[in-house]
Chains A and B, each alone.
Chain A
Amino acid sequence: MSACAPHREFLAAVADGETELVPAATLDHIKDCADCTNEVRAHQLLTSKLRLAAVEPEQAPPERGLVSLPRGRVRLVAVGVAVAILVAGAGVGWTVISHPDPVQAAVTASSEPLQIQSGDASQVGQWCLQASGRTLPAIQLDGMQVVGARMDRSASTDIVTVVYTAPSGGRITVSWLEGQAPAGSGVEDRTISGHQLLIVHSPVGTAVVIGSSADAMWQIAAAIESTAT
Chain B
Amino acid sequence: MSERSAEAEGDMAAQIVRLQPRLLRFAWSLTRDRAAAEDLAQEAIARALASQWRFQPGTNLKAWLFRILRNIHLNVLRAAATHPALVSIEELVIEPAGPHERSVNPVEARVIERAELTRVADAFRTLPPIFAIPLYLTAVEELSYAETASILDVPVGTVMSRVYRGRRLVMSRLAGGGQ
Contacts and interface: CB of A to CB of B under 8 A. Distances in A.
Interface of A: 2, 4-5, 8-13, 16, 18, 21, 35-36, 38-39, 41-43, 45-47, 49-61, 63-68, 185-187, 225-226
Contacts of A186: 110, 113-114
Contacts of B138: 16
A8 B100 contact: yes
Interface stretch (B63-71, B73-81, B116-124): B116-124
Interface of B: 17-18, 20-21, 24-25, 28-29, 32, 34, 37-38, 100-104, 106, 108-110, 112-118, 120-121, 124-125, 127, 129, 132-133, 135-136, 138-140, 142, 144-145, 156-157, 160-161, 163-164, 167, 170-171
Given A11-B164, A49-B112, 13 more contacts: A5-B101, A8-B100, A16-B145, A18-B144, A38-B109, A46-B167, A51-B140, A52-B117, A55-B140, A56-B125, A57-B32, A58-B29, A64-B24
Minimum-distance CB pairs A-B, first 7: A12-B164, A35-B103, A53-B117, A57-B29, A53-B121, A57-B132, A63-B21
Nearest to B37: A61
Which of B110, B113, B118, B140 has most A Cβ within 10 Å? Answer: B113
A46 B112 contact: yes
A3 B136 CA distance: 30
12 contacts: A13-B145, A21-B145, A21-B156, A35-B104, A53-B120, A55-B124, A55-B125, A55-B140, A57-B127, A57-B129, A63-B24, A66-B20
